[in-house]
Structure 1
C-alpha cells in the first residue's frame, strides 16, 4: 500500500477514458465500411475491435499503480 497518494491514478483514469473515447470514435468511423461486410464477418470484426483495446491496458495499469511501464 502507498504511504502517500499520487496523481497517477486519477490522471490514468482520465487518460483511459480519453483513449477509449478516441478508440470508439475510430470504430464509429469504420462502421460504413464494416456495414458492407456479411453479417458473420461483421460479428468477427466487432468482436476483434471490442477486445483489441484491452491489449495495451496491462502496461497502462501497471504504470498507474507503480509508475513504471514494465
Structure 2
C-alpha cells in the first residue's frame, strides 16, 4: 500500500476514533456520574481523556508502515 494512501486512511480512522470515543465517553459520563462529586468527574474525564491515545497510537504505528530492518 502506498504511504500516502496509508496516511489518508489512518487520518480518517483517527478522526472517526476521536468523534466516536468522545460521544461514548460523554454518554457514559452523563448516564452514570450525575450524582457523584466533582472529583469523581475530574478523575473520570482525566482517565477517559487520556485513554483514546492508546488506539490512536496503534493507528499511527500502522500509518508509519512496516519496520525496516537495518543491515
Q: Give me the TM-score of the superposition, normalised by structure 2.
A: 0.77
- Give the Å deviation of 1:42: 0.8
The answer to which structure has the higher helix fraction is 2
Q: Which stretches in structure 1 are left out of the alignment for 5+ residues? A: none
1:2-41 correspondence runs (5 A): 5-32=3-30, 33-41=32-40
- Contact 2:13–2:59 (Cα < 8 Å) also in 1: no
Matched with 1:43 is 42
Runs of 4+ aligned structure 1 residues displaced above 3 Å come to: none
Higher relative contact order (CA 8 A, sep 6+): 2
1:8 & 1:28 partners in 2: Cα distance? 30
Greater mean alpha carbon deviation, residues 24-33 or residues 59-68: 59-68
How many aligned positions are there?
Answer: 65
Q: Which stretches in structure 2 are left out of the alignment for 5+ residues? A: none
